[in-house]
A and B are shown apart, each in its own frame.
Chain A
Amino acid sequence: MRRSRALVAAVITAAIVLGNGAMPAGASQPGAGGVEFLVTAHLPTFPCRPPGCTGTFEGMSTGTLAGEDDSGIHWSVAWTGGQSQGSFSYVDSCDVPAGIAAGGGNLTASVGAVTGTYGEPAPGAPFPLPVIGVNTGLTFEWTRIGLSAVLITRVSVSITVVKPEGIVTIPVVDDHLGAANAQFAPTGPASTCAAPQPLDAVVLGTNLITT
């Protein structure tokens, strides 16, 4: 128990830097901000030898993003208490404490968890339109050594906006390629290749986005 608490505390206080070397891919809408996520990964078997296993994750996210869409319209969004979920395939080595994974998921937040604006003051319309939702879709490739992992991510972001014609979804970041680091904190009992067990692990990260 003491070791587990110390581990979680170490993860939570660890400095995690994501997005170094981020580069745009696909559309090049200018944008910047960060997304923080705290999820629990469920691994049905750990370690999992080749050909691999499938796991899931869910948790929460917070974030602040801003930029311009394809039409050059400025947008901003901030959320707290958003939801995160996804799935991944993974495989672990039994020779060294390492593993790789690939998967995808969504970070979402809706009314009551989101604030933001779309558009800029204009003659006759001095106030921007409200943003009421955000959906960050991502795919990732994960390489873990010990409790640290390096991720390559592709992120797309769409926001939900109230417009005069109704509630619409607007893509604002398209297939943004980035590199990231993350921390992996097992919360279950230690397991070995000789006696693999199901495992839950806390994953905490911050994804900085600059396009």
Chain B
Amino acid sequence: MRTRRIFGVLVAVIAFAAATAIPAGASQPVAGALAFHGTAHLNQFQCVAGNCTGSFNGSATGSLAGVAGGIPWSADIADVGFGATFTYNDSCLGVGFADGGGTIHAFLGKTTGTYGPVPGVLELPAPVTEVLIPFTFSWDRIGATAIIDVGVDVSLRVVRPGPVLQWVDVVTNHQVEALASFVPLELPPPEVCLGGATMQLDAEVAAAVELS
């Protein structure tokens, strides 16, 4: 009986693995949106020579869904903390550029979602227990508004027969364009903008990234 059970689990795992394999280059339909809100910290402002470093920390909320390897999936995340770093150049002229990246990692309690059904393996969808969203961005700011090019990967940690937990990549290098707002928490004083001094600058940043 035990051997049969182990064999059954093994067959289910192999079938699950085969069903969830995503062919290289296959299109992965995805839809949904992620809302970012946080504080960008610029270690030096102004930074006209470029290659200054900053950080962006905050929270993200969103809802994503798609089909990967023919298997439907969905994931909601709520108020998930994230961290990102970037290099930039920025000035009092109201124009700034930045490139960076970070990761959103939603754990149990911060995410819910489903993966499946998987024909022949899972009649009902398996639950999503974690979501990992690495992202990169390229930021062009004019005034309080920035146009950002965002690259997103999405991986889901799902429960497979066993039960065991398995990471599944459902979105790879999905590129989208979005808008963000940039509101400094304090305005640079004249000695910074006119006198050549520098300061650390914090700014409130919000962005809505729609994936489609």
Contact = CB atoms under 8 A, between A and B. Distances in A.
A129 B163 contact: no
B125 interface: yes
A126 B161 contact: no
Contacts of B128: 130
Interface residues of B, number: 28
Determine the interface band of chain A, counting residues with CB < 8 A from chain B. Answer: 20 to 34
Given A112-B117, A127-B112, A163-B108, A80 B124 contact: yes
Contacts of A125: 108-110
B109 to A, nearest CB: 3
Interface in B106-150: 107-112, 116-118, 121-129
Residue from A80, A119, A164 whose CB has the most chain B CB atoms within 10 Å: A164
Interface in A100-119: 110-115, 119
A129 B117 contact: no
Residue from B76, B112, B160 whose CB has the most chain A CB atoms within 10 Å: B112
A151 interface: no
A128 B112 contact: yes
A125 B81 CA distance: 12
Interface in B64-81: 76, 78-79
B162 interface: yes
A51 to B, nearest CB: 28
Interface string A14-50: 0000000000000000000000000000000000000
Contacts of A80: 123-124
Contacts of A79: 124
Given A112-B121, A112-B126, A164 B107 contact: yes
A115 B114 CA distance: 10
A132 B109 contact: no
B208 interface: no
13 contacts: A112-B117, A115-B124, A115-B125, A124-B109, A124-B110, A125-B110, A127-B109, A130-B127, A132-B127, A132-B163, A162-B165, A163-B108, A164-B109
Interface of A: 79-81, 110-115, 119, 122, 124-133, 160, 162-164, 167
Given A113-B122, A130-B129, A132-B126, 17 more contacts: A79-B124, A80-B123, A110-B161, A112-B118, A112-B123, A112-B161, A126-B110, A127-B76, A127-B109, A129-B108, A130-B127, A131-B127, A132-B159, A132-B163, A162-B127, A162-B165, A167-B159
Closest 10 CB pairs of A and B: A125-B109, A112-B122, A130-B127, A127-B112, A126-B78, A132-B159, A111-B163, A162-B129, A111-B159, A111-B161
Interface of B: 12, 76, 78-79, 107-112, 116-118, 121-129, 159-163, 165
